[in-house]
Amino acid sequence: MSAATSAGPIRRLAERVAKFHAVGLIGVGVQLAALVLFKSLAGLHYMAATALAVEVAVLHNFCWHERWTWVERTRRSPGLGLIFLRLLRFNLTTGMVSIGSNLVLMRLLVGTFHLHYLTANVLTIATTSLANFLVSELFVFRVQRD
């Protein structure tokens, strides 16, 4: 395979990675705002607040990924049933990875090492980025065979 032939798929993958991380950065803001809302304003325990905040960010990120990051794959299958199926796969995979790792790491970083809950949450978000991209790329928004 020549360099010119492989440049297209590599470039598209690099664009998806960049879009994924752009959405993720916005999602960090959404998650942190939700965490403050649930913990500081609603008075929830930091663990419950973390789980709810992660789910808010997961739903936010899915909407952006559906319409922007993987749009070349999702526009071919725009039906509500297929969107719901992707949302279910997204929530069951990246959602569970995010919630699971956030809860474990928050317990460790806040409960054991006594970091501030917002600092700890930023660190937990950063640890799951690559795993979430791979799950989304290879499973949630995978190329549909005709």
Query: How does DSSP classify residue 70?
Result: T
Q: Which residue has the tokens 């809860």?
A: 103
Q: Is residue 129 exposed (0-12), middle (13-18) or buried (19+ Cβ within 10 Å)?
A: middle
pLDDT higher than 90, residue 6: no
What are 82-121's pLDDT values in tens digits? 899 999 999 999 878 888 888 899 999 999 999 999 999 8
pLDDT of residue 108: 96
pTM: 0.79
pLDDT score at 73 = 87
pLDDT of residue 146: 53
Contacts 24+ apart (CB under 8 A), 58-62: 58/90, 58/91, 58/94, 58/95, 58/98, 58/99, 59/91, 60/26, 60/27, 60/30, 61/23, 61/24, 61/27, 61/94, 62/86, 62/87, 62/90, 62/91
